[in-house]
Structure 1
Amino acid sequence: MYRAGMAQAAQALIGDSEFDRDTAVTLREPGVYDAELSAGWTIIHAVNGGYLLALLGRALGDALPHPDPFTVSAHYLTPSAPGPAVIRTDVVRTGRTLSTGQASLFQYEEDGTEVERIRVLASYGDLDALPDDVRTTALPPAIPPREHCLGPSDGPAPQIPGSSAITDRLDIKLDPATVGWAVGAPSGKGEMRGWFGLADGRDADPLSLLLTVDALPPTSFELGLKGWTPTVELTTHIRCRPAPGPLRVSITTRNLAGGFLEEDAEVWDSADRLVAQSRQLARAPRG
């Protein structure tokens, strides 16, 4: 079990970090929120899908009576760009233990036309009210110690066109067995594993887990494909509140067919608990 935190000059706190500022929403009127998509979370051609999921997750957390996302399913309709956005939420149902809502994020074209970027259906509850009973066959991913894994400064930068601004906001150390793509020697396996944290040291919470499931390089890189891997649909399950410290993320793809691939992600915390799971369907790069 890995408990040592990552070295940080001044660790940011939950609620007072770059992630929190960049996922902030402002209530305009009941159910309608204004937001600003930060250019700091872009990758290749668009704003990262996990960041967008966290942004809508924050709006839904304000609109619904329960505090924590349990399951969030998103359909990505058009690529998002840095700049102003509007989020419209709707409470579908409220119950004693769960509440369900939907939300859509809109941006505007140059001619003023409103375009829907992403639509979400989510159920929220209270993670602190869940029972402690755990029965599982799942095991944490086998990842070398963090000091033996590789980050952006440990080798030549891979030649991928477009923005990589998001990498400056993340602290990712990848399993060497999954970084052949970075030196032109992909393994051919649809696997990506690594240690994950935010660069400013902010600990994980249920909202940031929505970013975590979509923050590692896509498995398509290890399949020998370069370029943007746009998400079509992403469903995330938050299983429990993560303990402080770095996370371990494992992502696998078993089937690329018809120009689409699936990615199954697991996120484990420093207490060896499975804190989040996800599955997404993505369009394979054309490279």
Structure 2
Amino acid sequence: MAQAATQAAETAQAIIGDSEFDRDTAVTLREEGVYDAELSAGWTIIRAVNGGYLLAILGRALGEALPHPDPLSVSAHYLTASVPGPAVIRTQIVRTGRTLSTGEASLFQYADDGTEVERIRVLATYCDLDALSDDIRTTAKVPAIPPREHCLGPSDGPAPIPGSSAITERLDIKLDPATIGWAVGQPSGKGEMRGWFGLADGRDADPLSLLLTVDALPPTSFELGLKGWTPTVELTAHIRCRPAPGPLRVSITTRNLAGGFLEEDADVWDSAGRLVAQSRQLAKAPRG
């Protein structure tokens, strides 16, 4: 038994060693319910750490704290912008059952004066995705996105994408040409963003990385003709099943911008044509 556990740990470490995403979302148990993490500068947008990357870090901590392995529903409130550097995650088990378990997690960083600042707070329910029913009844349709070779990434533009930064080097994104008018000063005004998504190092998607995927494409505010940072206020993600290997298709839409806030509804489809994740987030609209 001990030998098998050691082999499993070595295998897990080998996997983490091969993936930048896994290395940068790793957490270390300090004491029961408390984990240390290092927020990598490689996942920043302008100067703030990407919200989907943060969600994945908290999701990993909750996956270690709860008896069930996979995120099913994760709701996060972003309280203050996170910055690269050390962080502490505190978790609490709310309830455990036979098929579901629920927990809370908060991520803290230290301000310049040494006081703790809470950056993000999460309430999540976990399950075993492999144990879910395979009964599917849906009217959802795979988004019509041109073949990947006919889509465009950051390197295809005439100039750097507005607001792009270190995170673009870690993502393999190819956007539908119909949704990138903003990149050449001709936004469509439709509030849509579609494209192919993967991690640049080739790591296949899993339930944890889907928490990043739902918040990784450029914001729909760009296609609404607005420029600048679009900070997330609240984000809820539903992971519907374990994704098949291969690139993902992501579709994000905004139907309403009012009072200085907009919503983004994201659908994520795997290479087998299954809807593997959905999310809605409320974000503050850029001023531009």
Q: What is the TM-score with the length of structure 2 in the denominator?
A: 0.94
| Contact persistence 2:16–2:23 (CA under 8 A) | no
SS of corresponding position for 1:15? helix
| Contact persistence 1:51–1:210 (CA under 8 A) | yes
* Post-superposition offset of 1:192: 0.1
More helix by share: 2
SS of corresponding position for 1:102? strand
| Contact persistence 1:12–1:202 (CA under 8 A) | no
In structure 2, the residue matched to 1:237 is: 238
C-alpha distance in structure 2 between counterparts of 1:174 and 1:57, whole Å: 27
* Post-superposition offset of 1:132: 1.1
| Contact persistence 1:189–1:223 (CA under 8 A) | yes
C-alpha distance in structure 1 between counterparts of 2:81 and 2:67, whole Å: 30
Note closer, same or farther for the CA distance 1:162–1:195 as it changes in structure 2 (3 Å cut): closer
In structure 2, the residue matched to 1:253 is: 254
* Post-superposition offset of 1:161: 6.3
| Contact persistence 1:46–1:81 (CA under 8 A) | yes
SS of corresponding position for 1:12? helix
Point out which structure has higher relative CO (alpha carbons under 8 A, 6+ apart): 1
C-alpha distance in structure 2 between counterparts of 1:8 and 1:192, whole Å: 48
Moved more, 160-169 or 39-48: 160-169
How many residue pairs get matched? 281
In structure 2, the residue matched to 1:96 is: 98
Note closer, same or farther for the CA distance 1:51–1:7 as it changes in structure 2 (3 Å cut): farther
* Post-superposition offset of 1:16: 3.2
Note closer, same or farther for the CA distance 1:180–1:9 as it changes in structure 2 (3 Å cut): farther
* Post-superposition offset of 1:153: 1.3
Same amino acid, percent of matched pairs: 90
SS of corresponding position for 1:57? helix
Q: Which contiguous aligned blocks of 4+ residues in structure 1 show a shift greater than 2 angstroms?
A: 6-16, 160-163
* Post-superposition offset of 1:157: 2.5
In structure 2, the residue matched to 1:53 is: 55
Structure 1, unpaired ranges of 5+: 1-5
| Contact persistence 1:25–1:33 (CA under 8 A) | yes
Deviations, residues 170-215 of structure 1 (Å, cap 9, x unaligned): 0000000000111111111100000000000000000000000000
| Contact persistence 1:44–1:227 (CA under 8 A) | no
In structure 2, the residue matched to 1:152 is: 154
C-alpha distance in structure 2 between counterparts of 1:7 and 1:195, whole Å: 42
| Contact persistence 2:53–2:212 (CA under 8 A) | yes
Q: What is the TM-score with the length of structure 1 in the denominator?
A: 0.94
Q: RMSD between aligned alpha carbons?
A: 4.7
Note closer, same or farther for the CA distance 1:136–1:161 as it changes in structure 2 (3 Å cut): closer
C-alpha distance in structure 1 between counterparts of 2:197 and 2:45, whole Å: 17
| Contact persistence 2:163–2:229 (CA under 8 A) | no
C-alpha distance in structure 1 between counterparts of 2:107 and 2:230, whole Å: 20
C-alpha distance in structure 1 between counterparts of 2:246 and 2:155, whole Å: 21
Note closer, same or farther for the CA distance 1:286–1:230 as it changes in structure 2 (3 Å cut): same
C-alpha distance in structure 2 between counterparts of 1:30 and 1:12, whole Å: 25
C-alpha distance in structure 1 between counterparts of 2:206 and 2:112, whole Å: 36
Note closer, same or farther for the CA distance 1:7–1:216 as it changes in structure 2 (3 Å cut): farther
C-alpha distance in structure 2 between counterparts of 1:16 and 1:221, whole Å: 34
Deviations, residues 77-131 of structure 1 (Å, cap 9, x unaligned): 0000000000000000000000000000000011101000000000000000011
